[in-house]
């Protein structure tokens, strides 16, 4: 490949100045038709592409946003990412995906992108904002930091948030079980210290309180298939034995159902299971998993729009930042 063409090369060939080339590219409306044509031809001839680094340096704006994901392998995040990308690419923004793998060190390394000019803003799907960054935000004068938390809220919530009402959604799931006659319930919860765990747990409790159902159990998981499988044994040892389980996510529900099947316990005949998220594998369990669907695509889209509003790329959207969930009735819950 030859040396890359610069805007200067294009200018020379088109017989105009570099300023005009830049204008012909970005604001074609303000140059003469013939100039535009000449520049276009010169670009085609040279195969010119804008040097992004030079633009970023000059504009002091990267036109890129960072998306921090705790685990890119978690299918739950993928559709949110799709929503983010959809809005981003339509707005000419690049997204940089950072997989923190749950490590603080990596979180910080990625959030550095905010100050080293690599990105203009960040979307946090990891439910955490390192102390150092939070302080920086607090110290910031004028305007919100260009950060939006998505799906998993922050505590304290120092930046805008887009997601669902987890408490209400958990209440919905639990009430669904209660309405079908279940009186001994179990909640397969997420890891301790996680805000989603707390919110869903509290929705579960609220629903039982309201229904006047006193007996329930809690099993602590960590959102993985494995922990769902491990929960099966605990569940079967419970007394009184629960007739229904509300799992805080689908992965654990899927693991639980598989482990129960291995032990000869039938779902939903012996025990009903309802999940949370509606990941794609939820429809391929045996039986298909009844679960709470999160509007993931929409969450991603809304979050990205909100962030762009913060950055000033577009005016802030006025839609809701808590989106509606949907209960997907499939085959894993039976009435008693």
Residues that bind DNA (CB under 7 A): 4, 6-8, 15-23, 25-26, 30-32, 34-35, 48-51, 54-55, 57-60
96 binds, among DNA, a copy of itself, none (CB under 5 to 8 A by kind): a copy of itself
Q: How many CA atoms lie within 13 A of 241 on its CB side?
A: 9
d(CA 209, CA 204): 9
Distance of closest approach, residue 201 Cβ to a copy of itself, in angstroms: 24
85 binds, among a copy of itself, DNA, none (CB under 5 to 8 A by kind): a copy of itself
Site for a copy of itself in 133-192 (CB under 8 A): 136, 139-141
d(CA 6, CA 295): 44
Q: Which one, 208 or 232, has the nearer CB to a copy of itself?
A: 232
Q: Which of 132, 117, 138 is nearest to 66 (CA)?
A: 117
Q: Which of 171, 196, 194 is nearest to 274 (CA)?
A: 171
Sheet with 272-277: list strands edge to edge.
216-220, 185-189, 244-247, 272-277, 290-293, 326-328
Query: Which among 21-29, 78-86, 304-312, 315-323 is the span making contact with a copy of itself, rule CB under 8 A?
Result: 78-86
d(CA 3, CA 24): 23
Which one of residues 17, 32, 131, 283 is an interface residue with a copy of itself (CB under 8 A)? 283
d(CA 232, CA 228): 7
Q: Does 263 bind a copy of itself (CB under 8 A)?
A: no
d(CA 165, CA 204): 13
Q: Which one, 35 or 194, has the nearer CB to DNA?
A: 35
Q: Element (H or E) spanning 235, and its range?
A: helix 225-237
262 binds, among a copy of itself, DNA, none (CB under 5 to 8 A by kind): a copy of itself
Distance of closest approach, residue 276 Cβ to a copy of itself, in angstroms: 16
Which one of residues 12, 18, 91, 118 is an interface residue with a copy of itself (CB under 8 A)? 118
Residues found in the chain:
336
User: Total number of residues binding a copy of itself (CB under 8 A)?
Assistant: 55
Cβ atoms of residues 248 and 187 within 8 Å = yes
Which one of residues 15, 104, 238, 281 is an interface residue with a copy of itself (CB under 8 A)? 281
DSSP 8-state symbol, 238:
-
Site for a copy of itself in 204-233 (CB under 8 A): 225, 228-229
Strand partners, 122: 66, 147
| Site residues for a copy of itself per CB under 8 A | 1, 4, 47, 49-54, 56-57, 62, 71-75, 78-79, 81-82, 85, 89, 94, 96-97, 99, 101, 106, 109, 112, 115-118, 136, 139-141, 225, 228-229, 254-255, 257-258, 261-262, 280-281, 283-286, 288
């Amino acid at each position: 490949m030859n040396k890359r063409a610069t805007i200067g090369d294009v200018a020379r060939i088109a017989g105009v100045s570099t300023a005009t080339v830049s204008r012909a590219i970005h604001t074609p409306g303000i140059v003469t038709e013939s100039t535009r044509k000449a520049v276009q031809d010169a670009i085609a001839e040279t195969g010119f592409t804008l040097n992004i680094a030079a633009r970023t340096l000059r504009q002091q704006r990267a036109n890129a946003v960072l998306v921090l994901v705790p685990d890119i392998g978690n299918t739950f995040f993928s559709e949110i990412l799709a929503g983010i990308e959809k809005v981003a690419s339509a707005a000419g923004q690049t997204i940089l995906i950072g997989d923190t793998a749950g490590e603080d060190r990596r979180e910080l390394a990625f959030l550095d992108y905010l100050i080293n000019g690599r990105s203009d803003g960040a979307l946090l799907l990891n439910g955490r904002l390192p102390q150092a960054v939070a302080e920086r935000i607090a110290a910031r004068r004028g305007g919100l930091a260009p950060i939006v938390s998505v799906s998993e809220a922050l505590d304290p919530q120092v930046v805008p948030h887009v997601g669902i009402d987890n408490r209400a959604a958990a209440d919905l799931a639990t009430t669904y079980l209660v309405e079908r006659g279940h009186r001994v319930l179990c909640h397969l919860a997420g890891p301790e210290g996680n805000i989603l765990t707390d919110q869903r747990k509290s929705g579960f409790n609220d629903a039982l309180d309201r229904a006047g159902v006193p007996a329930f159990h809690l099993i602590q998981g960590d959102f993985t298939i494995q922990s769902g499988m491990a929960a099966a044994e605990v569940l079967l040892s419970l007394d009184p034995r629960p007739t229904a389980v509300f799992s805080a996510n689908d992965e654990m529900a899927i693991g639980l159902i598989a482990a129960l099947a291995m032990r000869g316990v039938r779902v939903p005949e012996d025990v009903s299971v309802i999940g949370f998220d509606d990941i794609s594998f939820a429809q391929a369990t045996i039986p298909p998993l009844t679960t709470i669907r999160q509007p993931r695509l929409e969450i991603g889209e809304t979050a990205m729009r909100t962030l762009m509003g913060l950055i000033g790329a577009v005016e802030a959207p006025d839609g809701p930042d808590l989106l509606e969930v949907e209960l997907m009735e499939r085959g894993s819950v039976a009435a008693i």
